[in-house]
C-alpha cells in the first residue's frame, strides 16, 4: 500500500504530483515533499551515500482519489498549489478536507458528489483573499460546510475591543515571519459557515418557446455572499430563516457554527440562533448522540442531518449545556439515546444539567 506520484518539470522547476493511492486507506495525509531517489510508489529512506534531494509536492492530479469508498479524511500541506479536475470527485465517505489558500489553481469537480462532507477546513494566509473559498463552494450544488481561518487587520478592527468578546476557539494571535526574516504578530479569526444545497431547474414555456431557469433552495443566494475579497457575514445571517424551512439540517449546522465562532455576529441574530437550537433540541440531541447511525438523508433524498465525529459531537453538546440551549423536553430522548449508544460522558453531562436547575423547576421527591 503506497501513495503514488509523478515527478514533473515545468518552467525549470521540478515538483511531484500525487496521482492516487494503492490499497485501502481512511486518512490521507499528503506529505510536503518526496525524496528524489525513493521508490516510485513509496516514501522512505533513500539508498546510497548521497543526501537525497527533496522534491516539493505541489499538485493533486486529475481524478487522483475519485470514486474512493474508503477515504474519510484528506489533509493537504501548504505546498499544494494545484488541485486538478475531479481530484476527489464522488468520494462517497469523505468527511473532512483540509487545505490552504496556497492553492492557486482549483479546477471544477474536485469535491463534486462528495455527499458526506462534514467540514472543509481552509487556512487563509493573505488578507482579504477568499478566492479559493468562492471557487470551492461554487463547485458543488450540494451542502458544503466550511471552517475558515483568516487574518484580520488588528488596528483597523480595534482588535482589543472588537475581538475581545470572541471565545478562544474563534480568535488567536500568532507570530508570523516574512521572507526578510521579520517577525510580527498576526490576528487570526476562525468562522464556521454552512452553505446549503440548491437545485437549478428549468420550466418550459410553450407559448414563448423558451425555458425559464428556476433555482430552488437558499444555497445559491448564500454562495453569492462570498466574493474574492470579502464575506458578507450579515447577509449570511439574514438567510438563516430560509435555511430553517429549505434545509433544516443545514440550519442546525449553521446555528452551531455561528454561535461557536461568532465573528461579526449581532446580539439579535445570536438570540435567533440560540432559540432555534433550544426549540429543536429534542430532535438535535438524539441525532448528535447517534452520530453516524442517524439517518443522513430522507426517503426523497433530502438532507436530514449532518453527522459529526465523536469529538465534535461532545463539543457541541457541552456547548449546549454551557449556554443552556437544551429544553426540558429534550432530556428524556437524549438520555435514552445515550443509554443505547453507551455514551457515559454525555449521560453524565445531561444528568448534571437536569438536576442543576436550568429553568426546569425544583426537583421534588416523595418519601
Q: What does the pLDDT look like over 101-120, one tens digit per residue?
A: 999 999 999 999 998 999 99
Please state the pTM of the whole predicted model.
0.88
Q: Where are the domains of the chain?
A: 266-367
pLDDT value for 202: 55
The band of 228, judged by pLDDT with boundaries at 50, 70 and 90, is very high
pLDDT value for 46: 42
pLDDT value for 317: 96
> What mean pLDDT value characterizes the chain?
88
What is the Cα–Cα distance from 93 to 97, expressed in whole angstroms? 11
What is the Cα–Cα distance from 296 to 145, expressed in whole angstroms? 15
What is the Cα–Cα distance from 66 to 300, expressed in whole angstroms? 26
In 3-state terms, the chain is what percent helix, strand and coil (to 5)? 30, 25, 45
What is the Cα–Cα distance from 132 to 32, expressed in whole angstroms? 20
Residue 43 has pLDDT above 70, yes or no: no
Q: Sign of dihedral through CA atoms 69, 144, 58, 153?
A: negative
Residue 210 has pLDDT above 90, yes or no: no
User: From residue 286, how far is each of 48, 115, 293 by CA, in Å?
Assistant: 58, 22, 11
Q: Pick from 150, 259, 131: which is nearest to 194 by CA? A: 259
Mean pLDDT across 83-89: 97
Torsion of CA 108, 258, 151, 80, to 10 degrees: -30
Matching residue, cell 479536475: 85
| Continuous segment of H or E residues that includes residue 34 | strand 33-35
Amino acid at each position: 500500500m503506497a501513495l503514488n506520484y509523478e515527478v514533473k518539470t515545468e518552467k525549470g522547476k521540478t515538483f511531484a504530483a500525487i496521482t492516487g493511492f494503492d490499497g485501502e486507506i481512511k486518512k490521507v495525509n499528503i506529505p510536503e515533499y518526496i525524496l528524489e531517489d525513493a521508490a516510485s510508489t513509496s516514501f522512505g529512506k533513500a539508498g546510497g551515500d548521497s543526501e537525497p534531494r527533496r522534491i516539493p509536492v505541489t499538485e493533486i492530479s486529475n481524478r487522483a482519489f475519485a470514486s474512493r469508498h474508503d477515504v474519510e479524511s484528506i489533509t493537504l500541506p501548504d505546498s499544494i498549489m494545484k488541485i486538478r479536475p475531479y481530484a476527489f470527485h464522488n468520494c462517497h465517505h469523505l468527511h473532512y478536507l483540509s487545505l490552504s489558500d496556497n492553492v492557486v489553481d482549483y479546477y471544477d469537480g474536485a469535491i463534486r458528489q462528495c455527499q458526506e462532507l462534514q467540514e472543509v477546513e481552509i487556512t487563509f494566509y493573505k488578507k482579504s483573499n477568499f478566492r479559493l473559498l468562492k471557487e470551492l463552494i461554487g463547485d458543488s450544488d450540494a451542502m458544503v460546510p466550511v471552517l475558515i481561518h483568516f487574518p484580520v487587520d488588528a488596528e483597523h478592527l480595534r482588535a482589543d475591543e472588537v475581538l475581545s468578546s470572541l471565545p478562544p476557539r474563534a480568535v488567536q494571535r500568532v507570530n508570523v515571519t516574512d521572507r526578510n526574516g521579520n517577525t510580527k504578530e498576526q490576528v487570526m479569526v476562525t468562522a464556521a459557515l454552512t452553505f446549503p444545497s440548491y437545485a437549478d431547474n428549468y420550466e418550459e414555456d410553450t407559448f414563448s418557446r423558451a425555458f425559464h431557469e428556476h433555482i430552488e433552495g437558499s444555497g445559491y443566494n448564500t454562495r453569492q455572499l462570498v466574493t474574492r475579497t470579502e464575506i458578507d457575514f450579515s447577509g449570511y445571517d439574514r438567510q438563516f430563516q430560509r435555511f430553517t424551512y429549505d434545509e433544516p439540517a443545514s440550519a442546525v449546522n449553521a446555528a452551531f457554527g455561528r454561535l461557536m465562532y461568532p465573528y461579526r455576529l449581532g446580539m439579535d441574530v445570536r438570540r435567533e440562533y440560540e432559540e432555534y437550537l433550544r426549540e429543536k433540541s429534542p430532535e438535535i440531541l438524539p441525532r448528535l448522540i447517534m452520530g453516524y447511525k442517524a439517518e443522513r438523508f430522507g426517503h426523497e433524498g433530502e438532507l436530514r442531518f449532518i453527522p459529526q465525529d465523536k469529538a465534535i459531537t461532545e463539543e457541541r453538546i457541552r456547548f449546549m449545556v454551557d449556554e443552556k440551549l437544551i429544553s426540558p423536553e429534550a432530556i428524556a430522548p437524549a438520555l435514552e439515546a445515550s443509554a443505547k449508544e453507551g455514551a457515559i460522558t454525555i449521560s453524565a453531562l445531561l444528568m448534571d444539567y437536569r438536576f442543576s436547575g436550568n429553568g426546569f423547576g425544583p426537583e421534588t421527591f416523595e418519601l
